[in-house]
Amino acid sequence: MPGRLEGKVAFITGAGRGQGRAHAVRLAEEGADVIVTDAPAQVEHMNYPTASAGELAETVRQVESLGRRIVAGAIDVRDLAGMKAFVSDAVARLGRLDVIIANAGIDITGPWHAQTPEIWQTTLDVNLTGVYNTVLAGVDGLLAAGGGSIIMTSSANGLKAGPFNMAYNVSKFGVVALAKSLAMELAKDGIRVNTVHPGSVDTPMGVGARDGFEPGREENPNLYGMITKWMPGLIDPSEISNLMVYLASDESKWATGGAFVVDGGLSSY
Protein backbone atom coordinates (compact mmCIF):
# COMPACT_ATOMS: atom_id res chain seq x y z
CA MET A 1 0.00 0.00 0.00
CA PRO A 2 1.21 3.53 -0.70
CA GLY A 3 2.17 5.62 2.30
CA ARG A 4 -0.02 8.37 3.68
CA LEU A 5 2.36 10.98 2.21
CA GLU A 6 3.22 9.29 -1.08
CA GLY A 7 4.17 11.86 -3.72
CA LYS A 8 4.56 14.73 -1.25
CA VAL A 9 7.67 16.77 -0.46
CA ALA A 10 8.26 18.26 2.99
CA PHE A 11 10.65 20.96 4.18
CA ILE A 12 11.79 20.51 7.80
CA THR A 13 14.09 22.77 9.82
CA GLY A 14 16.15 21.68 12.81
CA ALA A 15 16.42 18.19 11.34
CA GLY A 16 19.95 17.29 12.41
CA ARG A 17 18.70 15.31 15.39
CA GLY A 18 15.89 15.19 17.95
CA GLN A 19 12.37 15.99 16.84
CA GLY A 20 13.42 17.28 13.42
CA ARG A 21 15.22 14.08 12.51
CA ALA A 22 12.34 11.99 13.83
CA HIS A 23 9.91 13.98 11.66
CA ALA A 24 12.08 13.58 8.55
CA VAL A 25 12.38 9.83 9.01
CA ARG A 26 8.72 9.32 9.90
CA LEU A 27 7.49 11.32 6.91
CA ALA A 28 9.88 9.38 4.68
CA GLU A 29 8.43 6.13 6.03
CA GLU A 30 5.05 7.36 4.79
CA GLY A 31 6.38 8.06 1.29
CA ALA A 32 7.49 11.70 1.43
CA ASP A 33 10.72 13.11 0.03
CA VAL A 34 12.27 15.70 2.32
CA ILE A 35 14.25 18.91 2.36
CA VAL A 36 16.08 19.44 5.66
CA THR A 37 18.23 22.06 7.32
CA ASP A 38 20.04 22.63 10.58
CA ALA A 39 22.32 25.33 11.95
CA PRO A 40 25.82 25.56 10.41
CA ALA A 41 27.46 26.58 13.71
CA GLN A 42 26.88 26.75 17.44
CA VAL A 43 24.15 29.22 18.33
CA GLU A 44 25.34 31.80 20.83
CA HIS A 45 24.46 31.72 24.56
CA MET A 46 23.27 28.10 24.57
CA ASN A 47 24.41 25.71 27.33
CA TYR A 48 24.08 22.62 25.12
CA PRO A 49 25.54 21.96 21.64
CA THR A 50 23.59 22.51 18.45
CA ALA A 51 23.44 19.70 15.90
CA SER A 52 26.68 18.86 14.12
CA ALA A 53 27.38 18.25 10.44
CA GLY A 54 27.76 14.58 11.28
CA GLU A 55 24.33 14.47 12.89
CA LEU A 56 22.72 16.09 9.85
CA ALA A 57 24.53 13.54 7.65
CA GLU A 58 23.03 10.76 9.78
CA THR A 59 19.55 12.15 9.11
CA VAL A 60 20.34 11.98 5.39
CA ARG A 61 21.54 8.39 5.75
CA GLN A 62 18.40 7.30 7.59
CA VAL A 63 16.05 8.88 5.04
CA GLU A 64 17.98 7.46 2.08
CA SER A 65 17.91 4.01 3.69
CA LEU A 66 14.13 4.16 3.28
CA GLY A 67 14.48 4.74 -0.45
CA ARG A 68 13.37 8.36 -0.31
CA ARG A 69 15.06 11.44 -1.75
CA ILE A 70 16.50 14.08 0.55
CA VAL A 71 18.21 17.45 0.08
CA ALA A 72 20.08 18.71 3.15
CA GLY A 73 21.75 22.02 3.94
CA ALA A 74 23.49 23.71 6.86
CA ILE A 75 21.46 26.93 6.91
CA ASP A 76 20.64 29.13 9.90
CA VAL A 77 16.92 29.94 10.04
CA ARG A 78 17.90 33.56 10.80
CA ASP A 79 19.45 33.80 7.32
CA LEU A 80 16.40 34.56 5.18
CA ALA A 81 18.31 35.00 1.92
CA GLY A 82 20.18 31.74 2.47
CA MET A 83 16.97 29.90 3.35
CA LYS A 84 15.16 31.18 0.26
CA ALA A 85 18.01 30.26 -2.08
CA PHE A 86 18.41 26.78 -0.57
CA VAL A 87 14.70 25.93 -0.62
CA SER A 88 14.25 27.26 -4.15
CA ASP A 89 17.06 25.02 -5.38
CA ALA A 90 15.80 22.01 -3.42
CA VAL A 91 12.24 22.39 -4.72
CA ALA A 92 13.58 22.61 -8.27
CA ARG A 93 15.44 19.33 -7.69
CA LEU A 94 12.55 17.46 -6.05
CA GLY A 95 9.81 18.95 -8.22
CA ARG A 96 7.33 20.37 -5.71
CA LEU A 97 6.68 21.33 -2.09
CA ASP A 98 3.62 20.33 -0.06
CA VAL A 99 4.56 20.58 3.60
CA ILE A 100 6.56 22.98 5.76
CA ILE A 101 7.53 21.94 9.29
CA ALA A 102 9.09 24.91 11.09
CA ASN A 103 10.74 22.93 13.86
CA ALA A 104 14.09 24.61 14.58
CA GLY A 105 14.29 26.20 18.01
CA ILE A 106 16.44 26.86 21.06
CA ASP A 107 15.76 27.06 24.80
CA ILE A 108 18.07 29.12 27.01
CA THR A 109 16.66 28.78 30.52
CA GLY A 110 17.29 30.72 33.71
CA PRO A 111 15.69 33.24 36.10
CA TRP A 112 14.28 36.39 34.53
CA HIS A 113 17.24 38.56 35.54
CA ALA A 114 19.65 36.11 33.87
CA GLN A 115 17.75 36.37 30.58
CA THR A 116 19.97 39.12 29.19
CA PRO A 117 18.95 41.32 26.25
CA GLU A 118 21.30 39.21 24.11
CA ILE A 119 19.61 35.96 25.17
CA TRP A 120 16.20 37.55 24.61
CA GLN A 121 17.08 38.67 21.09
CA THR A 122 18.75 35.41 20.07
CA THR A 123 15.77 33.38 21.32
CA LEU A 124 13.22 35.48 19.46
CA ASP A 125 15.38 35.61 16.33
CA VAL A 126 15.61 31.80 16.16
CA ASN A 127 12.27 30.71 17.60
CA LEU A 128 9.93 33.32 16.14
CA THR A 129 11.60 35.17 13.28
CA GLY A 130 13.18 31.87 12.23
CA VAL A 131 9.72 30.32 11.91
CA TYR A 132 8.55 33.31 9.88
CA ASN A 133 11.64 32.99 7.65
CA THR A 134 10.91 29.29 7.19
CA VAL A 135 7.42 30.09 5.93
CA LEU A 136 8.74 32.81 3.61
CA ALA A 137 11.32 30.41 2.20
CA GLY A 138 8.77 27.73 1.34
CA VAL A 139 5.34 29.26 0.88
CA ASP A 140 5.76 29.92 -2.85
CA GLY A 141 6.22 26.18 -3.31
CA LEU A 142 2.95 25.46 -1.52
CA LEU A 143 1.15 28.09 -3.58
CA ALA A 144 2.52 26.55 -6.78
CA ALA A 145 1.30 23.12 -5.64
CA GLY A 146 -2.21 24.45 -5.12
CA GLY A 147 -2.09 24.21 -1.33
CA GLY A 148 -0.47 22.29 1.47
CA SER A 149 0.27 22.22 5.16
CA ILE A 150 2.40 24.47 7.37
CA ILE A 151 3.16 23.04 10.81
CA MET A 152 4.93 25.15 13.43
CA THR A 153 6.52 23.63 16.51
CA SER A 154 5.46 25.72 19.48
CA SER A 155 5.57 24.20 22.97
CA ALA A 156 3.52 23.51 26.07
CA ASN A 157 5.09 26.85 27.03
CA GLY A 158 3.23 28.40 24.10
CA LEU A 159 -0.03 27.65 25.92
CA LYS A 160 1.03 28.12 29.55
CA ALA A 161 4.10 30.12 30.53
CA GLY A 162 6.62 28.11 32.50
CA PRO A 163 8.98 29.48 35.15
CA PHE A 164 12.61 30.37 34.46
CA ASN A 165 11.99 30.47 30.71
CA MET A 166 10.84 34.01 29.90
CA ALA A 167 12.26 34.53 26.40
CA TYR A 168 11.28 31.02 25.32
CA ASN A 169 7.72 31.52 26.61
CA VAL A 170 7.35 34.74 24.64
CA SER A 171 8.74 33.19 21.46
CA LYS A 172 6.44 30.18 21.62
CA PHE A 173 3.32 32.26 22.34
CA GLY A 174 4.36 34.35 19.34
CA VAL A 175 4.46 31.26 17.14
CA VAL A 176 0.80 30.62 17.98
CA ALA A 177 -0.18 34.15 16.96
CA LEU A 178 1.82 33.83 13.74
CA ALA A 179 0.15 30.52 12.88
CA LYS A 180 -3.37 31.80 13.51
CA SER A 181 -2.69 34.95 11.47
CA LEU A 182 -1.39 32.97 8.51
CA ALA A 183 -4.12 30.33 8.82
CA MET A 184 -6.75 33.03 8.26
CA GLU A 185 -5.11 34.56 5.21
CA LEU A 186 -3.80 31.43 3.49
CA ALA A 187 -7.00 29.39 3.79
CA LYS A 188 -8.26 30.74 0.47
CA ASP A 189 -5.13 29.27 -1.16
CA GLY A 190 -5.72 25.80 0.26
CA ILE A 191 -2.92 26.11 2.82
CA ARG A 192 -3.54 24.89 6.37
CA VAL A 193 -1.50 26.27 9.27
CA ASN A 194 -1.35 24.62 12.69
CA THR A 195 0.84 24.55 15.78
CA VAL A 196 2.12 21.52 17.68
CA HIS A 197 2.81 21.82 21.41
CA PRO A 198 5.23 19.21 22.79
CA GLY A 199 6.33 19.05 26.40
CA SER A 200 9.34 17.37 28.05
CA VAL A 201 10.67 15.57 24.97
CA ASP A 202 13.72 13.31 25.19
CA THR A 203 16.06 15.36 22.98
CA PRO A 204 19.37 17.17 23.57
CA MET A 205 17.45 20.45 23.83
CA GLY A 206 14.78 19.05 26.12
CA VAL A 207 17.35 17.57 28.48
CA GLY A 208 19.98 20.31 28.20
CA ALA A 209 17.57 23.15 28.86
CA ARG A 210 16.60 21.70 32.23
CA ASP A 211 20.06 22.52 33.62
CA GLY A 212 19.15 26.20 33.52
CA PHE A 213 16.19 25.64 35.84
CA GLU A 214 18.38 24.98 38.89
CA PRO A 215 19.31 28.62 39.69
CA GLY A 216 15.64 29.54 39.52
CA ARG A 217 14.70 26.59 41.69
CA GLU A 218 17.12 27.79 44.36
CA GLU A 219 15.81 31.37 44.21
CA ASN A 220 12.11 30.60 43.88
CA PRO A 221 11.35 26.97 44.81
CA ASN A 222 7.58 27.54 44.93
CA LEU A 223 7.52 27.81 41.14
CA TYR A 224 9.52 24.68 40.34
CA GLY A 225 6.51 22.41 40.75
CA MET A 226 4.94 24.05 37.70
CA ILE A 227 7.42 22.10 35.54
CA THR A 228 5.48 18.88 36.07
CA LYS A 229 3.27 16.86 33.78
CA TRP A 230 0.66 14.32 34.78
CA MET A 231 2.22 11.45 32.85
CA PRO A 232 5.74 10.61 34.12
CA GLY A 233 8.80 10.25 31.92
CA LEU A 234 10.09 11.96 28.79
CA ILE A 235 8.21 11.87 25.48
CA ASP A 236 9.99 10.11 22.63
CA PRO A 237 10.37 12.36 19.55
CA SER A 238 8.62 9.75 17.40
CA GLU A 239 5.41 10.36 19.36
CA ILE A 240 5.43 13.95 18.11
CA SER A 241 6.23 12.73 14.59
CA ASN A 242 3.06 10.65 14.47
CA LEU A 243 1.05 13.85 14.86
CA MET A 244 3.18 15.56 12.22
CA VAL A 245 2.26 12.84 9.72
CA TYR A 246 -1.43 13.43 10.36
CA LEU A 247 -1.12 17.20 9.95
CA ALA A 248 1.02 16.80 6.82
CA SER A 249 -1.42 14.39 5.21
CA ASP A 250 -4.73 14.95 3.46
CA GLU A 251 -6.40 13.33 6.49
CA SER A 252 -6.23 16.75 8.18
CA LYS A 253 -7.63 18.76 5.26
CA TRP A 254 -10.13 20.57 7.50
CA ALA A 255 -7.69 21.25 10.34
CA THR A 256 -6.32 24.79 10.33
CA GLY A 257 -5.63 27.42 12.97
CA GLY A 258 -5.44 24.65 15.55
CA ALA A 259 -3.14 23.98 18.50
CA PHE A 260 -2.33 20.27 18.83
CA VAL A 261 -0.97 19.26 22.23
CA VAL A 262 1.32 16.31 23.02
CA ASP A 263 2.65 17.20 26.48
CA GLY A 264 1.50 14.55 28.95
CA GLY A 265 -0.69 17.09 30.72
CA LEU A 266 2.01 19.73 31.30
CA SER A 267 -0.12 22.63 30.07
CA SER A 268 -3.42 21.37 31.48
CA TYR A 269 -3.30 22.70 35.03
pLDDT at 219: 84
Fold designation for 9-260: Rossmann fold (3.40.50)
Which residues of the chain are under the pLDDT cut of 50? Answer: none
DSSP string, 170-196: HHHHHHHHHHHHHHHHHGGGTEEEEEE
pLDDT at 36: 99
pLDDT at 207: 78
Give CA torsion, residues 13, 127, 145, 94, to 10 deg. Answer: -20
Look up 168 and say whether it is catalytic: yes
Assess contact for 240 and 23: CB atoms under 8 A.
yes
| Own/partner long-range contacts of 223-232 (Cβ < 8 Å, ≥24 apart) | 223/163, 223/164, 224/163, 226/162, 226/163, 227/162, 227/163, 227/266, 228/266, 229/156, 229/199, 229/200, 229/263, 229/264, 229/265, 229/266, 230/264, 230/265, 230/266, 230/268, 230/269, 231/264, 231/265, 232/264
What's the predicted TM-score (pTM) here?
0.96
pLDDT at 269: 73
Set 48, 168, 224, 269: catalytic member: 168
